[in-house]
């Protein structure tokens, strides 16, 4: 048997198989060229296909993060524009306060200014409750508590707890949301701000006290606190909800008579010993006003009829905590509406002015934070875009076809296929039988 | 004498020419071995001064056949057939797992990422609707893929039934051929019958791997699957493809049938041929693909359901199940003697699920062994310690009897409940994953049912001085169920000295929290406090997660309490927790939920790559072995042409010789005229 011997039928079979292979290779090249993909099926390149799946997951994630970021950015922008308006309103309010302090103003001018301040107060409630385009409150901290989504609720005041220096005005703005600031993460930004920090919170070292009548009927009363006794009044922190000290002052005898002052609820720690025994204060009476000076405070009681100060008259003096911007404004409005004038009005307006300045600082801090987040939104967006491009590139390197290589492969395969066909037809034509004629 | 030589030469050369004609005629006949006429000289006769030859005669007609080359060609062909059919089937499976935009992974991610929009606007019905519809599409796609895999399996089973029929027919034909060959054994070698039998053997080898042993009477005994005599002399046994007794709907077993007795052939003993390729595909590749796809579905459903049930729907009611997977039931084998219909399973831990089926065998009426099909290992509860270091899944090589009775056992994230009415020898197949994939659907009807809000909200105390901000708050169900009533509150108070948050109030016994007193604070990573209500067993467990950023001051406190009904429409805590699941390592402890498709896909892709490679390799080998065989045994027409001329000339020469002898004879005769 010769090693050169070949079987004719098998030669045909093999030649056919080879031609089919070439044709299928050409088909693959053609498919790659027309689709632009090197990996069309998992079996084309299992590793690249798997990695490409992962990369595409990352791309989808980046796209989703970007969607979330855009939503946050829209909300934050709306918050920023709301706060810009609030800044303007604060400036207007300050201007009005300066005007009101002008000695030339008569009572009706002051009422006008009071009305203007009321207008600002209303607008502020609206702005603080503003919602973004999706209906979520912008300044609700960790979320509102009521279905209407309002973190700031205008409601009737509890006369004993929520009152201004000028007596119960029948309204206050309460916080109806969860306090706290949502955090920015590497891939997301919060949807809103903690409105409490912007509009509410007891202003540090604010000085003042409220007087409530325990009996009798009085038109108005005022307290002027110069240096409060820290054992009774602690105004240094946001003491909302904490038990605070108070004074009870009660008329004892005579006209103008003496008043007895009792310290209640000395809750501050450390306690400086037992509470002192009630002590008597002799008032200064000027017309229908009774002024009591004790413990760094001067309390003015005012009545139309001196007879009102009877034996059973008693009052409670509590620290005036300016819980929010609305109460600050209410103090000014109250002072103007009650027809205060001269030194008292100036002092009151100055105090409101100072507090408004502190509130303005709060506002600026909040706007600074918003600005920072919006900047971060920009840089995060750039980061996402770059990431997206990088993933796109990675994916393309994994599964896309290298055109130069594909074209050259295609031509190589085409040439090979042609050669196979041509040689087949030529070689198979040859047979010894052709020569047996 | 000379005329004798001439006559013999003529007939002999004509016979050779006839053989050449036969070769030419059969040049393209598959399985034909070329034949050559062996000539021999007729021994001479001594006539005084020397031996005078008496011409030529035919010794035999031989076929050019090499047993070793043929065996090699058949052996390589049998492997190539197995690989080719497996590749063909795997390519059908590949079509179900496309790449890129249409892939299951894309759908999985778009379903999970849709929660981002809900997080941005929690009450928005459209965003909620998109989550449901995307998840619905995903579930439909998984169901569809599972049912298409079933269809491919059914087709493969039909195909193997056909292959088995072909095998039986070929076996009968070989037996018949054996008979004919044995009967012609007394005469010369029946070349063409042998060729035909070899052709039948080659055909049979493509269907199933065989080995042969020749007998003295010329018959061949054909063994299949190791040592089962498929053909013995002129008798043929048969095969049958039957439903697997344990998993008849999905798997099949090949039985060897001889007379009335049946013998199940292990798939390992089928070494080659189409039948082997099909069996491997049906019982291994397809089953594994289904399990791996199903594990993704089951883990996804478990994880998302647990988180969804931990949230609150738009009306403030507790969230329900998000996905339905139907009940998970281990089916009993057809051969079971007990009355238990099935074993009920539940998923205990979606992240611990393995991509495998399990076989539960009752050693006694109550004691079982649990074998993991993927690696053949047995579960040993004594070794099981998922929290150990290193964690041990409790599976070992030796089988262990577990007293199951009517209690339950947990392994690989599954809880298996015993049943009454089981008998020794009963077997049950657990395929929770594949069952889940076939039934996965979204359980929610309306967008309002989507539980977007977290059960608990955090509130910062008014007195807080620090700058800590809140990143996330959520509740996650761990075990059992959450109470419909408001969850107990928890307050975390910071201690800068230890960098820990103290926990208060302590729950009322038997309820406990872990950690009991304080939790360590790392900015940006969740503080997890697990609450166990102490009921049961099993008790209900859930965890509170709070993630803070920034530095709190000593005494700063954060109070977790039930989210109020009014606040639900503005709370997206649970959506955030679902989004966090994307990065939870759920599969084999190293693949995240969002990448859940990757293991499924890569197992298909790598398997396919491997099958493709071996199919190409075995085909090349088969082709080369066949070429070697054919080059030896096949007809070369040029050779035949050359021989044709050669013997034609010899014939012509013989005729000329005869003419010469005749003319000599004539010359002699004319001399006497």
pTM of the predicted structure, to 2 decimals:
0.83
CB within 8 Å: A42 and B601 = yes
Tell me what percent of the residues of chain B surpass a pLDDT of 90.
Answer: 32
From CA B456, how far away is CA A178, in angstroms rounded? 12
Task: Answer whether A432 sits within 8 Å of B642, measured CB to CB.
Answer: yes
A105 vs B654, more confident: B654
The stretch A97-113 carries a mean pLDDT of 84
pLDDT of B19 above 90: yes
Q: What is the pLDDT of residue B481?
A: 84
The SS3 call for residue B640 is helix
B47 confidence band (pLDDT: 50, 70, 90): confident
Can you give the pLDDT at residue A220?
46
Is the Cβ pair B623, A399 closer than 8 Å? no
Q: What is the overall mean pLDDT for chain A? A: 78
Q: What mean pLDDT comes out for the span B463-481?
A: 84
B280: Cβ contacts below 8 Å, ≥ 6 apart: B82, B86, B267
Structure tokens at A5: 């011997």
| The pLDDT of residue A228 | 59
Give residue-wise pLDDT tens across range A200-228. Answer: 876 654 455 556 555 554 444 555 555 65
Give the lowest-confidence range in B84-98, B164-178, B468-482: B468-482
Give the gap in angstroms from C-alpha A130 to the nearest C-alpha of chain B. 14
Confirm or reject contact between B569 and chain A (CB < 8 A). Answer: yes
Between strands B527-532 and B512-514, the pairing is antiparallel
Asked if A46 lies within 8 A of B605 by C-beta distance, the reply is: yes
**B570/A56 touch (CB, cutoff 8 Å), yes or no:** no
CA distance A173 to A201: 12
Report d(CA B474, CA A44) in Å as an integer: 44
Taking only Cα atoms into account, the Rg of chain A, rounded to an integer number of angstroms, comes to 42
Residue of A nearest to B461 (CA): A179
Chain A neighbours among B 123-162 (CB < 8 Å)? Answer: 123-124
Q: What angle do CA A296, A297, A301 make, to 5 degrees?
A: 160
Main-chain dihedrals φ then ψ at residue B650, nearest 5 degrees: -60, -40
Would you say A178 and A145 are in contact if contact means Cβ atoms under 8 Å apart? Answer: yes
Please give the torsion angle defined by the CA atoms of residues A288, A293, A296 and A297, in that order, rounded to the nearest 10 degrees: -20
Rg (CA), chain B: 39
pLDDT band (50, 70, 90) for residue B238: very high
- Residue B457: list chain A partners with CB under 8 A: 142-143, 178
Asked if residues B469 and B139 have their Cβ atoms less than 8 Å apart, the reply is no
Structure tokens at B266: 């292990």
Rounded Cα distance between B107 and B94, Å, is: 17
Q: What separation in angstroms does the CA of B440 have from each of B275, B303, B347, B502, B665?
A: 33, 14, 14, 43, 102
Distance (Å, rounded) from C-alpha B94 to C-alpha B86? 12
pLDDT on residue B605: 87
B582 interfacial to chain A (CB closer than 8 Å): yes
Does residue B155 have a pLDDT over 90?
A: yes
3-state secondary structure chain A: CCCCCCCHHHHHHHHHHHHHHHHHHHHHHHHHHHHCECCCCHHHCHHHHHHHHHHHHHHHHHHHHHHHHHHHHHHHHHHHHHHHHHHHHHHHHHHHHHHHCCCCCCHHHHHHHHHHHHHHHHHHHHHHCCECCCCCECCEECCECCCCCCCEEEECCCCCCCCECCECCCCEEEECEECCCECCCCCCCCCCCEHHHHHECCCCCCCCEEEEECCCCCCEEEEEECCCCCCCCCCCCCCCCCCCCEEEEEEEECCCCEEEEEEECCCCCCCCCCCCCCEEECCEEECCEEEEEECCEEEEEECCCHHHCCCCCEEEEEECCCCEHHHHHHHHHHHHHCCCCHHHHHHHHHHHHHHHHHHHHHHHHHHHHHHHHHHHHHHHHHHHHHHHHHHHHHHHHHHECCHHHHHHHHHHHHHHHHHHHHHHHHHHHCCHHHHCC
The stretches of B229-286 forming alpha helices (DSSP H) are 274-280
Residue B540 — φ and ψ, nearest 5°?
Answer: -95, 135
| Range in A244-248, B51-55, B171-175 with the lowest mean pLDDT | A244-248
For residue B491, whether the previous peptide bond is cis, meaning omega lies within 30 degrees of 0, is no
* % of chain A residues with pLDDT over 70: 75
Q: Are B104 and B145 in contact (CB under 8 A)?
A: yes
Give dist(CA B13, CA B644) in Å, integer.
10
Average pLDDT over residues B377-396: 84
Residue B443 touches partner A, C-beta closer than 8 Å: no
**Residue A307 — very low, low, confident or very high, per pLDDT cuts 50/70/90?**
low
Give B395's Cβ-side CA count (13 Å radius).
Answer: 17
**B549 interface with A at CB cutoff 8 Å:** yes
Q: Report the percent of chain B where pLDDT is more than 70.
A: 100
- Partners of B91 on chain A (C-beta within 8 Å) are 43
Residues 508-547 of B with CB under 8 A from A: 524, 547
User: What is the tens place of the pLDDT at every residue in A272-281?
Assistant: 455 667 777 7
pLDDT at A165: 47
| Cα(B81)–Cα(B76) distance, integer angstroms | 9
To the nearest whole Å, the CA of B559 is away from the closest chain A CA by 10
Distance in angstroms (rounded) separating the CA atoms of residues A276 and A110: 43
d(C-alpha A210, C-alpha A194), whole Å: 28
- What percent of chain B is helix, strand and coil (3-state, nearest 5)? 45, 25, 35
Give the position of tokens 């697997």: B244
Q: Tell me the C-alpha distance between A432 and B114, whole Å.
A: 75
Average pLDDT over residues B241-262: 88
The beta-carbon neighbor of B567 closest among A39, A134, A144 is A144
Among partner residues A1, A148, A431, which is closest to B637 by beta-carbon distance? A431
Q: State the smallest CA–CA distance between residue A183 and chain B in angstroms.
A: 5
- Whether B623 sits inside 8 A of A17 (CB atoms) is yes
Q: Which residue has the tokens 């087709």?
A: B155
Q: Which run of H or E residues covers position B607?
A: helix B597-633
Alpha carbon distance B363, B368 (integer Å): 5
Q: Which residue of B has its CA nearest to A184?
A: B471
On chain A, the residues whose CB falls within 8 A of the CB of B470 are: 142, 180-183
* pLDDT of res. B64: 87
Indicate the helix (H) or strand (E) that contains B456: strand B456-460
Instruction: Tell me if A67 and B120 make a contact (CB, 8 A cut-off).
Output: yes
Q: Quick check: B143 pLDDT over 60? A: yes
Q: How far is A154 from chain B (nearest CA, A)?
A: 17
Q: B599 in contact with A at a CB cutoff of 8 Å? A: no
Taking an 8 Å cut-off on Cβ atoms, the answer to whether A185 and B460 are in contact is no
Does A255 or B85 have the greater pLDDT score? B85
**Residue B630: phi, psi to the nearest 5?**
-65, -35
Identify the closest residue of chain B to A197 by CA–CA distance. B462
Query: Residue B557, SS3?
Result: strand
Which of B80, B87, B470, B570 is the best substitution to test chain A (most A C-beta atoms within 10 A)?
A: B570
């Amino acid at each position: 048997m010769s090693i050169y011997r070949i079987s004719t039928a098998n030669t045909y079979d093999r030649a056919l198989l080879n031609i089919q292979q070439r044709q299928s290779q050409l088909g693959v090249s053609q498919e790659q060229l027309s689709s632009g993909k090197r990996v069309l099926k998992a079996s084309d390149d299992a590793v690249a296909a798997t990695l490409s799946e992962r990369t595409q997951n990352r791309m989808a994630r980046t796209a989703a993060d970007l969607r979330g970021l855009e939503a946050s950015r829209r909300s934050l922008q709306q918050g920023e524009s709301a706060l810009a308006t609030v800044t303007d309103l604060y400036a207007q309010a300050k201007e009005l306060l300066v005007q009101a302090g002008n000695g030339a103003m008569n009572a009706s001018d002051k009422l006008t200014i009071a009305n203007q301040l009321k207008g600002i107060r209303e607008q502020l409630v609206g702005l603080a409750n503003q919602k973004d385009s999706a209906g979520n409150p912008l300044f609700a901290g960790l979320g509102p508590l009521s279905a209407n989504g309002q973190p700031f609720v205008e409601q009737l005041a509890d006369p004993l707890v929520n009152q201004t220096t000028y007596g119960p005005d029948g309204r206050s703005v309460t916080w109806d949301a969860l306090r706290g600031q949502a955090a920015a993460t590497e891939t997301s930004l919060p949807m809103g701000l903690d409105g409490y920090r912007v509009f509410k919170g007891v202003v540090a070292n604010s000085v003042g006290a409220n007087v409530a009548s325990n009996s009798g009927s009085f038109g108005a009363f005022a307290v002027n606190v110069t240096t409060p006794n820290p054992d009774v009044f602690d105004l240094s922190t946001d003491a909302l909800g904490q038990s605070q000290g108070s004074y009870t002052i009660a008329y004892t005898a005579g006209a103008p008579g003496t008043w007895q002052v009792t310290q209640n609820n000395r809750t501050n720690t450390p306690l400086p010993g037992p509470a002192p025994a009630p002590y008597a204060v002799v008032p200064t009476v000027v017309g229908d006003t009774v002024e009591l000076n004790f413990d760094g405070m001067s309390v003015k009681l005012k009545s139309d009829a001196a007879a009102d100060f009877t034996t059973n008259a008693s009052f409670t003096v509590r620290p005036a905590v300016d819980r929010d911007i609305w109460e600050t404004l209410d103090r000014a409005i109250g002072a103007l509406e009650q027809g205060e004038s001269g030194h008292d009005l100036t002092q009151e307006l100055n105090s409101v002015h100072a507090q408004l300045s502190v509130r303005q600082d709060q506002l600026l801090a909040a706007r600074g934070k918003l600005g920072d987040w919006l900047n971060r939104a920009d840089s995060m967006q750039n980061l996402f875009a770059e990431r997206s491009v990088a993933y796109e590139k990675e994916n393309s390197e994994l599964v896309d076809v290298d055109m130069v290589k594909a074209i050259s492969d295609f031509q190589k395969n085409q040439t090979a296929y042609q050669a196979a066909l041509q040689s087949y037809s030529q070689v198979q034509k040859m047979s010894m039988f052709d020569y047996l004629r | 004498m000379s005329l004798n030589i001439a006559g013999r030469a003529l007939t002999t050369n004509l016979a050779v020419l006839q053989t050449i004609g036969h070769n030419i005629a059969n040049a393209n006949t598959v399985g034909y071995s070329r034949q050559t006429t062996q000539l021999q000289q007729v021994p001479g006769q001594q006539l005084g001064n020397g031996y005078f030859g008496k011409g030529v005669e035919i010794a035999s007609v031989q076929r050019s056949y090499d047993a070793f080359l043929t065996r090699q060609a058949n052996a390589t062909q049998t492997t190539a057939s197995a690989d080719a059919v497996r590749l063909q089937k795997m390519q059908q499976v590949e079509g179900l797992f496309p790449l890129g935009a249409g892939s299951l992974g894309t759908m999985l991610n778009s379903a999970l990422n849709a929660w981002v929009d809900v997080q941005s606007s929690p009450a928005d019905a459209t965003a909620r609707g998109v989550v449901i519809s995307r998840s619905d599409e995903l579930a439909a796609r998984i169901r569809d893929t599972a049912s298409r895999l079933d269809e491919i399996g059914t087709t493969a089973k039909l195909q193997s039934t056909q292959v088995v029929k072909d095998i039986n027919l070929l076996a009968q034909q070989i037996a018949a051929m054996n008979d004919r060959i044995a009967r012609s054994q007394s005469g010369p070698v029946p070349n063409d019958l042998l060729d035909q039998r070899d052709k039948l053997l080659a055909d049979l080898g493509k269907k199933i791997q065989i080995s042969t042993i020749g007998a003295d009477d010329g018959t061949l005994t054909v063994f299949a699957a190791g040592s089962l005599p498929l053909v013995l002399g002129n008798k043929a046994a048969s095969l049958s493809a039957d439903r697997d007794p344990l998993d008849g709907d999905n798997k099949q077993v090949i039985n060897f049938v001889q007379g009335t007795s049946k013998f199940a052939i292990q798939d390992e003993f089928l070494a080659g041929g189409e039948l082997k390729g099909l069996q491997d595909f049906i019982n291994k590749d397809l089953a594994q693909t289904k399990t791996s796809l199903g594990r993704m579905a089951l883990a996804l459903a478990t994880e998302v359901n647990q988180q969804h049930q931990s949230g609150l729907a738009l009306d403030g009611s507790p969230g329900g199940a998000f996905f339905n997977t139907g009940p998970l039931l281990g089916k009993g084998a057809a051969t079971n003697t007990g009355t238990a219909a099935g074993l009920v399973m539940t998923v205990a831990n979606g992240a611990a699920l393995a991509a495998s089926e399990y076989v539960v065998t009752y050693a006694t009426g109550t004691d079982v062994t649990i074998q993991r099909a993927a690696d053949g290992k047995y579960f040993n509860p004594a070794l099981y310690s998922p929290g150990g270091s290193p964690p041990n899944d409790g599976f070992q090589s030796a089988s262990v009897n577990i007293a199951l009775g009517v209690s339950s056992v947990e392994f690989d994230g599954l809880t298996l409940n015993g049943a009454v009415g089981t008998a020794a020898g009963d077997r049950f197949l657990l395929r929770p994953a594949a069952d889940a994939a076939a039934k996965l659907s979204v359980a929610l009807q309306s967008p309002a049912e989507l539980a977007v809000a977290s059960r608990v909200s955090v509130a910062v105390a008014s007195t807080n001085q620090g700058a800590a901000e809140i990143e996330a708050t959520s509740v996650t169900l761990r075990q059992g169920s959450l109470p419909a009533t408001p969850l107990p509150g928890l307050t975390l108070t910071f201690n800068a000295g230890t960098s820990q948050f103290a926990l208060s109030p302590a729950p009322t016994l038997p309820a406990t929290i872990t950690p009991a007193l304080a939790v360590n604070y790392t900015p940006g990573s969740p503080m997890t406090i697990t609450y166990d209500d102490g009921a049961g067993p099993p008790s209900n467990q859930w965890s509170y997660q709070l993630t803070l950023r920034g530095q709190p001051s000593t005494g700063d406190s954060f109070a977790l309490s039930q989210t109020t009904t009014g606040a639900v429409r503005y709370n997206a805590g649970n959506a955030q927790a679902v989004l966090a699941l994307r990065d939870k390592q759920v599969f084999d402890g190293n693949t995240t939920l969002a990448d859940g498709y990757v293991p499924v896909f890569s197992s298909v892709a790598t398997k396919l790559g491997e099958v493709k490679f071996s199919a190409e390799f075995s085909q090349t080998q088969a082709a080369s072995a066949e070429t070697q065989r054919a080059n030896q045994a096949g007809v070369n027409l040029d050779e035949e042409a050359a021989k044709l001329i050669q013997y034609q000339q010899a014939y012509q020469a013989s005729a000329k010789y005869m003419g010469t002898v005749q003319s000599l004879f004539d010359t002699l005769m004319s001399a006497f005229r």
